[in-house]
Structure 1
Amino acid sequence: MIIINVDVMLAKRKMSVTELTERVGMTMANISLIKNGKVKAIKLETLDKICEALDCQPGDVLEYRPSKEKSI
């Protein structure tokens, strides 16, 4: 499972969601969907903008956690 840690990075950078939306040029609704992990995909262009705004690497925003159930 992929975990999105935008909220963690916002806290580390002491940045508000509003400031991130302004820097990235996206709507508050779209940033909130990403931040809350409610998206099934994210464009690399969007990830690039988020990383630029938060001055971080993609691995700071995205985290892999193995699923508890193993598929057969």
Structure 2
Amino acid sequence: MLCLNFQCNKRKCDEYDRGNIMIRCHLARLMGEHKMRISDVMRETGLSRTTITLLYKETALKVDLDALDKLCDLFNCSLSDILERMPNNDKSRTFNPKFHQK
């Protein structure tokens, strides 16, 4: 998994912390409510397994707007039902330029 900092190219970075994610993806919850599997979402939307899996596991670093639109159509929901911005209260995990030097 890559560090979430765009200036860091390290595969495993101490700055990456799952508990500090600011954007949450609720695809897994929506799929559960609709009793859908990844293969069902693939078939209905035409999205790749990789795209759906990354969103399902909340490990995606970026998301295509077309993918979000297809998911909103599939689940008949708004974007805010899929993505949610969470408050980031832990100010101790800010970017440390010394850590990311090459």
**TM-score category of the 2 structures, normalised to the smaller one:** 0.7 to 0.9
- For 1:58, the equivalent position in structure 2 comes to 79
Offset at 1:33?
0.9
Task: Give ranges in structure 1 of 5+ residues lacking alignment.
Answer: none
Is the partner of 1:21 in helix, strand or coil? helix
Identity of aligned residues (%): 25
Root mean square deviation of aligned Cα: 1.3
Where structure 2 has 5 or more consecutive residues not aligned to the other structure, the ranges are 1-21, 95-102
**Which one-letter code corresponds to 1:63 in the other structure?**
E
TM-score by length of 1: 0.86
1:12 equivalent among 5, 14, 33 = 33
Equivalences for residues 1-72 of structure 1 within 5 A: 1-70=22-91
**Which structure has more helix as a fraction of its residues?**
1
Structure 1 moving runs of 4+ over 6 Å: none
TM score, norm. by length of structure 2? 0.63
Greater radius of gyration (CA): 2
1:19-70 deviation line (CA, Å, top 9, x unaligned)? 1111111222221011111111112111000111111111110011111313
Q: Distance in 2 between matches of 1:15 and 1:57?
A: 18
